[in-house]
Amino acid sequence: MLTVASDIEVLARFGRALADPIRCRLLLALREAP
């Protein structure tokens, strides 16, 4: 049950990061070249 809660938290953080244009750009840049 703990892993499900942490997965939901990760998805929530990821969604919040995608909602912010600067963070979204940063995530896309990291995805291309870490």
17's CB contacts (< 8 A; 6+ apart) are 23, 24, 27
For 1-34, what is each residue's pLDDT tens digit? 578 888 889 889 888 888 888 888 888 888 887 5
Q: Domain map of the chain by residue range?
A: 2-32
Which pLDDT score is estimated for 1? 57
Which pLDDT score is estimated for 34? 58
CA 25 – CA 21 distance, rounded (Å): 6
